[in-house]
């Protein structure tokens, strides 16, 4: 593939991305993300609008002290106010005072916005663009003009939309970014407009796409194919309404599929880590189904797919997962084939030893009863381990009794669990009380197990989820209980299912503790009390 022209990445996670509902970055958050973007290799980082709030003004003061490796920090603002001298416009003054290397100015290019939103004349809008760009260039700044609503403006009055760009070009703008602000354009329209502009505009063009029609990534790629050399977007597609163009999808597409020089190839392996780090700072859960970086982006569930993957990975993977720092996941469910069982067992460091069909049949039977093995990989691991040569159950539950009662004068129910267990050849009869039945069961089991395996007290409950599988059965519904347990930095899930929530909880808890003991007895990290 011949090398294409360099495409510059312009990140606006800190400004446009912050307009997403639910995001509120602190100053420290913005500085952390700036460092991450610079280390990854983003070319331009739009830090905010210094004329709009004190936090953004402070950001530019602090960002100047970061000693960034290569990224240029851009300040965002608008053209001067209607009928005002640009030199006395306080918003423009704040842009200059920010000392940002790059200043991005948003300008109207749709007559509807000029006459109905700004409530001025088309001629005055052109003067606002000319004056602002020229003034910023006189202060020796790199200037990017964001032509707002450009594709809608071009459709309404192409001559005026082009005139807005020409004025900016003549005033000295370094870049013109064409904005699909309402996010409703199609890729074919994006391409047509950019091709039309080639005879009128001589400075580099960029694209700033919004995702209201789920086309921001496609429109950005179409723009590059038509000749744009700057992509504006955000990490994870964060942004107002439906979001902005998602750089975590665009960058690997440009680099791996189009041969564009958009990011250093070695840096691309940090893409998934960058995506998740920004999620963490934004306090938002990552979408597992994001392309390239989602946890499910290279997850394979269908048996036919996994059988092919086992032979040739490229048969169902458009790129190697590690190219973007992600990994493959083999999902186990009733849709699985023998290859799923074999490959997932190998990932766990186990061998099914010819028991693939036996394990698969057990999975299908369990899923038919309502147990979701897909969401409880600890339960799957137990299915494998229980079929290994030499398997011995570390314990056996002989009896389990749970009582709940509201005692005299108490305002809440109290639960008591009695467990009879065989552990290490001995019978233990233990009782535990708690405000809830699940905690009481867990405590009673641990009391018995700790007589032989004291390390079991280091296992802690991380999460407990209940789902009703047949709500039409009302209080007689079948209940699925998913337990997540942890030991040090490790986590595992186990599942139980029954019409009795206590029974389902007991199953999940018992499996969780058994898996811990099997794993760590095998590794020598857990030994008996002797």
Candidates 3.40.50.300, 3.40.50.970, 3.30.70.1140, 3.30.160.270; correct CATH number of 395-523?
3.30.160.270
Taking 90 as the threshold, does the pLDDT of residue 404 lie above it? Answer: no
pLDDT in tens, 282-298: 988 889 899 999 988 88
Q: Give me the residue spans of the domains in the chain.
A: 8-263, 299-385, 395-523
Task: Please give the Cα distance from 480 to 469 (Å, whole number).
Answer: 7
pLDDT in tens, 81-94: 999 999 999 999 99
Fold for the domain defined by 8-263: TIM Barrel (3.20.20)
**pLDDT attached to residue 529:** 46
Q: What is the 3-state secondary structure (H, E, C) of 477-517?
A: CCEEEEEEEEECCEEEEEEEEECCHHHHHHHHHHHHHHHHH
**pLDDT attached to residue 4:** 58
pLDDT in tens, 5-56: 699 999 999 999 999 999 999 999 999 999 999 999 999 999 999 988 899 9
Q: Which two tokens stand for residue 387?
A: 């079929």
Distances (CA, A) of 407 to 63, 369, 403, 412: 62, 37, 12, 8
Helix or strand holding residue 48 (H, E): strand 44-48
Share of the chain above pLDDT 90, in %: 56
Give the pTM: 0.73
Kindly indicate the confidence band of residue 364, based on its pLDDT and cuts at 50, 70 and 90: low
Read off the DSSP letter of residue 316: S
pLDDT in tens, 105-118: 999 999 999 999 98
Q: What is the separation of C-alpha 297 from the centre of its chain, rounded to a whole number of angstroms?
A: 11
Helix or strand holding residue 434 (H, E): strand 426-434
pLDDT, averaged across the chain:
87
Task: Please give the Cα distance from 140 to 172 (Å, whole number).
Answer: 11
Q: Which two tokens stand for residue 293?
A: 């970086």
pLDDT in tens, 201-223: 999 999 999 999 999 999 999 99
């Amino acid at each position: 593939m011949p090398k294409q022209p360099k495409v510059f990445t312009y990140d606006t996670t800190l400004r446009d991305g912050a307009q997403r509902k639910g995001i509120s970055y602190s100053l420290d958050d913005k500085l952390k993300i700036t460092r991450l973007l610079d280390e990854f290799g983003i070319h331009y980082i739009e830090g905010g609008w210094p004329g709009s709030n004190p936090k953004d003004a402070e950001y530019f003061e602090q960002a100047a002290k970061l000693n960034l490796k290569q990224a240029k920090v851009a300040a965002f603002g608008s053209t001067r106010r209607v009928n005002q001298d640009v030199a006395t416009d306080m918003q423009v003054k704040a842009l200059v005072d920010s000392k940002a290397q790059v200043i991005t100015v948003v300008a109207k290019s749709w007559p509807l916005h000029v006459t109905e939103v700004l409530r001025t004349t088309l001629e005055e809008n052109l003067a606002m663009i000319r004056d602002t760009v020229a003034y910023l260039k006189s202060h020796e700044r790199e200037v990017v003009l964001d032509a707002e609503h450009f594709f809608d403006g071009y459709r309404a009055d192409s001559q005026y939309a082009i005139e807005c760009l020409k004025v900016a070009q003549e005033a000295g703008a370094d870049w013109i970014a064409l904005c699909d602000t309402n996010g409703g354009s199609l890729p074919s329209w994006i391409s047509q407009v950019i091709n039309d502009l080639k005879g009128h505009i001589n400075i580099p063009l960029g694209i700033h796409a919004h995702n209201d029609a789920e086309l921001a990534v496609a429109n950005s790629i179409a723009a590059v194919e038509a000749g744009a050399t700057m992509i504006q977007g955000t990490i994870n597609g964060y942004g107002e309404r439906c979001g902005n163009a998602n750089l975590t999808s665009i960058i690997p597409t440009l680099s791996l599929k189009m041969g564009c020089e958009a990011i250093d190839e070695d840096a691309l392996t940090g893409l998934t880590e960058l995506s998740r780090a920004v999620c963490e700072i934004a306090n938002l859960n990552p979408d597992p189904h994001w392309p390239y970086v989602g946890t499910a982006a290279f997850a394979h569930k269908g048996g036919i797919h996994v059988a092919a993957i086992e032979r040739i990975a490229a048969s169902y993977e458009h790129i190697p997962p590690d190219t973007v720092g992600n990994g493959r996941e083999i999902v186990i469910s009733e849709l699985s084939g023998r290859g799923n069982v074999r490959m997932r067992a190998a990932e766990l460091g186990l061998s099914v030893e010819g028991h693939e069909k036996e394990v698969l049949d057990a999975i299908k039977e369990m899923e038919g009863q309502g147990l979701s093995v897909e969401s409880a990989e600890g339960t799957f691991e137990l299915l494998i381990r229980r079929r290994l040569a030499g398997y011995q159950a570390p314990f056996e539950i002989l009896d389990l009794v749970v009582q709940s009662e509201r005692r005299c004068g108490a305002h809440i129910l109290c639960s008591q669990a009695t467990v009879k267990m065989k552990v290490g050849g001995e019978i233990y009869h233990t009782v535990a009380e708690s405000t809830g039945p699940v905690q009481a069961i867990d405590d009673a089991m641990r009391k018995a197990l700790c007589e032989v395996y004291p390390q079991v007290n280091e296992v802690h409950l991380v999460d407990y989820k209940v789902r009703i599988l047949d709500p039409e059965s009302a209080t007689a519904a079948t209940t699925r209980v998913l337990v997540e347990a942890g030991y040090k930095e490790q986590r595992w899930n186990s599942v139980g299912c029954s019409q009795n929530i206590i029974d389902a909880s007991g199953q999940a808890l018992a499996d969780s503790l058994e898996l811990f003991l099997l794993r760590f007895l095998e590794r020598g990290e857990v030994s008996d009390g002797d």
